[in-house]
Chain A
């Protein structure tokens, strides 16, 4: 039975070693995928018979394509729509136009250095024109780099969405090479319909795939553990069919993932967890396979050229592209643009695309592959190592106190976005100052001195406690973060309103200062009194809406709001979080009440 056991043994070893490397690589600061690539190179250079099957270009290309498709589906699934909306415009421009510009700027450099034809220079340039989602996500999330949300989202969405464009360019240029090789004249206009087809058929299929997945998951009752497999199967079907129809399967999967991930679907948590694992497995398999494909002894012929081109890409091409495109958007500082330029890590997509010329048997395919491979190694090592120092030098990193708390998604019938959040209580945690903890914020479980207690058996929280708080929906999270986060946490979403206001201020004071229309019967009432009256079981976070502004209970003592905030931009709350609200000026009442305007 050795013919099974030896391969299984070797394969298992490669997998386990890859995972163990992660322990070291996180500490040293090398991107994990670089480690995977190196393990692939080692495994491949050992001339082990079992691995030789992977060294066949078509097989490597097949494994890589499937893995990339699944990674893109998951990266869409994980992108939250509200972040997407925030930065979709700059990110998508970087992901489309940016890729094209990168390729066009890099091509003359490649042509000069390698002395190849324009068309080959363009082909090579388009292979490295997209950034790698896996590398960018992993580095941003694991290296202790905490960025402002807008910068982080821009980078993540760019890297997730720019592969289809690079793939399209590469496929297009390969077609041109094939055409010119077969003697027929190259016709630029024939690409326009093909490009539009990739885009629109891809997007259309993605949307259709999303509808189908949502319908199936929500209508068909299955064992929970089976949903993720079902989704996986449908994703593969969608990928293949979209490609057959002339669309971009990668784009379709990314879109379907994005839409599905933000939808209330059954087993969302299970699917998400399963895909996390699938993504890791895909990455490991892809990088190891691609690593095995390279022949290290051949790299020395081209490494200087690759190094020069890589340097040009990192220091000239990408910065020009980023600064030029982001200058349309005023909300990036030059330091942020500098950082976005720096986080242009190339990765699996580039190597996978570099396989294509070999698969299509173009001349010089192998030396192109080697050049791209060295460029990717260089980009991963250089940019990966320096990402933390650069973020500090440019001052774009946030202090580490603002780490996001740990969240565990849980599947509960009827509650689609519920999660358990883990917080550590320190002396500065705001909740310790509260006399009463609101019902919605009470911990489900408290861990003190290594023992787990139920919430009811602990009278007061103290520093050193670890708590699990249940959040029935995502829209509760901003409030919980404010209560359990560190004291220095900025109230970015305005959970507590913009200004403090004395509970003894009257509504006519508000009228005077803010020009609000206040019904005559409230005019001389103190705002604290009215809030107490409207909320007999008042809790912090409760809001009284006066339509244009809202009053927020900041602290409660004996049923009276001792601290009140005034929120002058309630629209922000409406789009980000939920809390208990009572309105005293509904339009209906407006007709009955008599208003005074000064």
Chain B
């Protein structure tokens, strides 16, 4: 499985303006709802539920909100570059790079691999810096696809 299988270019948002963690999750839920046909509220609630266990703001400006959803028919991924928001991240720093991952409930351990892959991409500081320097959706999408390598 590759990132390109689960992330399409129309699920990449460049330079969003958001004021809070809640707002970014709302925006992502709305986008995901349009693309997957699931109820926006259901997605948002599930994401908030996951955040309750511990923040997905992993530090260095990066967050990876994720959850499992019933009735979802495929693994869905979205990416957003936003104005810096307080994501209650582990290092207390603001977040501007966000990967969203939604997985079908029956996906089992498969989705862990996808999550690990996303986490790995943003952990790489050069990739994160490259993403921050991009101004267009095409640019962002290209960097993400390029950094998706199997050997890491």
Q: Could you mark each residue 109-135 of chain B with 1 if its beta carbon is under 8 Å from any beta carbon of chain A, else 0?
A: 101110110011001111001100000
Distance between Cα atoms of A196 and B53 in the complex (Å): 60
What's the minimum C-beta distance from A568 to chain B, rounded to whole angstroms?
5
A505 within 8 A of B: yes
Residue contact A492 to B123, C-beta cutoff 8 Å: yes
A574 within 8 A of B: no
For B124, list chain A residues within 8 Å (CB).
148, 490, 492
Which of the segments B31-39, B54-62, B76-84 contacts the partner chain?
A: B54-62
Residue contact A515 to B105, C-beta cutoff 8 Å: yes
A525 within 8 A of B: no
For A330, list chain B residues within 8 Å (CB).
146, 148-149
For B5, list chain A residues within 8 Å (CB).
none
Total cross-chain contacts (CB, 8 A): 84
Number of residues from A at the complex interface, CB < 8 A: 32
Residue contact A331 to B129, C-beta cutoff 8 Å: no
Contacts A502-B54, A515-B109, A598-B105; A491 near B123 (Cβ below 8 A): yes
From A395, A499, A505, B58 is in contact (CB under 8 Å) with A499
Residue contact B53 to A568, C-beta cutoff 8 Å: no
Residue contact A499 to B54, C-beta cutoff 8 Å: yes
Residue contact A498 to B116, C-beta cutoff 8 Å: yes
Distance between Cα atoms of A381 and B111 in the complex (Å): 51
Residue contact A514 to B68, C-beta cutoff 8 Å: yes
Distance between Cα atoms of A500 and B55 in the complex (Å): 6
Residue contact B53 to A501, C-beta cutoff 8 Å: yes
Residue contact B56 to A499, C-beta cutoff 8 Å: yes
A548 within 8 A of B: yes
Residue contact A333 to B146, C-beta cutoff 8 Å: yes
A549 — nearest CB in chain B belongs to which residue? B112
A221 within 8 A of B: no
For A501, list chain B residues within 8 Å (CB).
53-54
B50 within 8 A of A: yes
B67 — nearest CB in chain A belongs to which residue? A513
Residue contact B53 to A331, C-beta cutoff 8 Å: no
Within 8 A of B (CB), among A489-524: 490-492, 494, 498-502, 505, 509, 512-516
A569 within 8 A of B: yes
What's the minimum C-beta distance from B66 to chain A, rounded to whole angstroms?
8
Residue contact A395 to B112, C-beta cutoff 8 Å: no
For A398, list chain B residues within 8 Å (CB).
125-126
For A505, list chain B residues within 8 Å (CB).
53-54
A583 within 8 A of B: no
A493 — nearest CB in chain B belongs to which residue? B123
Distance between Cα atoms of A564 and B58 in the complex (Å): 13
A218 within 8 A of B: no
What's the minimum C-beta distance from A590 to chain B, rounded to whole angstroms?
14
For B68, list chain A residues within 8 Å (CB).
512-515
B152 within 8 A of A: yes
For A569, list chain B residues within 8 Å (CB).
112-113, 116, 119-120
Within 8 A of A (CB), among B85-129: 90, 103, 105-109, 111-113, 115-116, 119-120, 123-126, 129
For A502, list chain B residues within 8 Å (CB).
52-54
Q: Could you mark each residue 333-357 of chain A with 1 if its beta carbon is under 8 Å from any beta carbon of chain B, else 0?
A: 1000000000000000000000000
For B111, list chain A residues within 8 Å (CB).
514-515
For B55, list chain A residues within 8 Å (CB).
499-500
A179 within 8 A of B: no
Contacts A148-B126, A492-B123; A513 near B115 (Cβ below 8 A): no
From B103, B112, B146, B148, A548 is in contact (CB under 8 Å) with B112
Within 8 A of B (CB), among A359-418: 395-396, 398
Residue contact B54 to A568, C-beta cutoff 8 Å: no
Given contact pairs A498-B119, A514-B68, A515-B68, enumerate 18 new A-B contacts (beta carbons under 8 Å).
A148-B124, A330-B146, A331-B147, A331-B152, A395-B126, A398-B125, A490-B124, A499-B55, A499-B64, A499-B119, A500-B90, A505-B54, A513-B53, A514-B112, A515-B108, A549-B112, A566-B54, A568-B115
29 contacting pairs across A/B (C-beta < 8 A): A148-B124, A330-B146, A330-B149, A331-B147, A331-B151, A333-B130, A333-B146, A396-B126, A490-B123, A490-B124, A494-B123, A498-B58, A498-B64, A499-B56, A499-B58, A499-B64, A500-B58, A513-B53, A513-B68, A514-B111, A515-B68, A515-B103, A515-B107, A515-B109, A548-B112, A549-B112, A564-B54, A572-B116, A598-B105
When A and B form their complex, which 10 residue pairs have the shortest distance between CB atoms, in order from nearest?
A: A331-B149, A569-B116, A501-B54, A500-B54, A505-B53, A498-B119, A548-B109, A568-B112, A502-B54, A568-B116
